[in-house]
Chain A
Amino acid sequence: MKNPIMKAIIGLVCVYVFLKFILPLFTAPIPSTLIFLYLSLTLTGIMLFQTMSGGSLDAFMGPIHRFLAGWDGQPGPSKMARLLVLVVFPLLVGWQTYTKLAPSDLPPAENRTIHPAPPGEFVGLSNPVPKTETNIQIGKGFYAAKCSPCHGANFDGKGPASVGFNPPPANFSDPGTIAQLQESYLFWRIKKGGVGLPVEGMPWKSAMPRWEVELSDDMIWKIIMGEYDGAHQAPRTWEEEE
């Protein structure tokens, strides 16, 4: 293939297909803004390459120049395509101006931090309650009475009271929640509740009760054990991190 413009287009399409469809087979899908960035970089690279010498410049830009300028006796389809480009570009600019300036009808996005850093006194505490079957069962009993209305009898965040709250209660069976956290973190969150969150956790929205008002530390530690056991998760420990 000699036509450098076609090469450039094929190159861009290949990069797009690779990023959009092939790479996600091996890793997480790539956000479209990132794909857009990569495509822009690819295009810039192609442009730089094509402008390196006078010859490549002519070969690459010549047909574009001729197409945009038009010429006498230009065949019908080519003439129509040129007209289309010249008409569509200003319309695109107009449309884009409109979409950028039109007032948004959506509420402002809120970047809530789901697991903000705990206060110092809650870092690295270890569960003082012996991990016995009896204590786990006691913890599950407290969980059923106090936590399951929101967090669910199946530890999946789908209790009967969960539907009214925004953000919704945490789903403990999801490997992205308590499995990522240490027991001391849960101790903080249960003891101090939603109102104990720092500003990035948006404490004003959380319905999590401040359980220290009603439960002893001993009960909270047992609930933590019951929660991990019931959700079939294990707490993150220091040993694993080292």
Chain B
Amino acid sequence: MLVQRGMLWSIVLLILGSGLWGTSLVFSDEPLAQEEKKKGVSVRLYLTDEPLPANDPMSTVWNSVPSSEFSLAPQVHWQDRIQDATVKSVKVRGLHNGHDLAILLEYQDPTEDPADAAALEFMVGEKKAHFAHGQKMLQVEGGPVNIWYWKKENGKALDMSAKGFKTLRSQDHQDVSATGMWQDGTWRVVFSRTLKTEDGHDTQIEPGRWINVAFAFWDGKIVDGEVKEKGSQKAVSSWWSLRAEPPQDNSIYGYVLLGIGIAVGFELVLVRKLRKGQKA
């Protein structure tokens, strides 16, 4: 009787175990997770062994990199706000090779103007920063932001920092490069940098770790003698997620084989015991 009970509980474990595994397979994808997947709401820097097209926004390499698209809004969060901005959305592609990264921003702007500009924004350090230049939050102590700014007439990137309005400044150490090309109503601007820098004012990108990113664009078109969008008048997004793809971890396959081995061993012992029990 005791042996039978033992076997019974082994079988119970087997059934419950496979039931748990089986049903968790069925139940693992909640509808919400599926929706999030469809939206593609993050920037992925894909790992590559090839040279990065770090200074070439028109490189054909970019065509093979999947893009994520983010809607933009006119900047209405603080003064001076605008009700309509030229750039409505941006397609983002990213690559890295374990040491350097390149991010391509592609967006529609009907005219090429000297004051056209684009920027990426990141949080710096562990403290969360408000997407509007790391402005002060009332109940939460925030951190600074790192802004990578490119302007057509400068022809290069500016590596900048801010912690609150009117604190935006260019950094002493310039670590970012950028190149922009306008063709047929589309800007393609590529930013590049090393994943990590020695500068404490910079965002640090560690493969496998999610960080936050936000975007901003200015249409430098001259309207009635004035630049259409400048300063806080721009197209913006709030925070989205960005991650540099981690290198493939092959140890996972070892664990899979181990799991299969244990399951087979368990089956062998169980069947042997059952056969012995039947004979007895």
Using CB atoms and an 8 Å cutoff, list the residues of chain A in contact with chain B: 31-33, 35-36, 39-40, 43, 47, 51, 54, 57, 61, 64-66, 68-71, 86, 89-99, 101-103, 105-108, 119, 149-150, 160-166, 192, 194-199, 202-209, 213-214
Contacts and interface: CB of A to CB of B under 8 A. Distances in A.
Interface of B: 1, 4-5, 7-8, 11-12, 14-25, 27-28, 30, 33, 36-37, 41-42, 44, 70-74, 76-79, 83-84, 123, 128-132, 135-140, 142, 208, 210, 235-241, 243, 246, 249, 252, 255-260, 262-264, 267, 270-271, 274-275, 277-278
A97 B259 contact: yes
Contact of B256 (A97, A108, A203, A204): A97
A99 B238 contact: no
A69 B17 CA distance: 18
Contacts of B33: 106
Given A33-B27, A89-B267, A198-B139, A43 B210 contact: no
B73 A198 contact: no
Contacts of B256: 94, 97-98, 101
Given A43-B16, A65-B278, A149-B83, A95 B131 contact: no
Given A93-B263, A98-B256, A103-B208, A68 B139 contact: no
Nearest to A66: B278
Among B12, B27, B77, B135, residue most surrounded by chain A Cβ atoms (within 10 Å):
B77
Nearest to A147: B76
Contact of A205 (B79, B83, B239): B239
Contacts of A209: 76-78
Contacts of B77: 194, 207-209
B2 to A, nearest CB: 12
Across chains A and B, which 7 residue pairs bring their CB atoms closest together, nearest first?
A: A164-B73, A107-B241, A90-B263, A69-B274, A97-B259, A163-B71, A93-B263
A99 B28 contact: yes
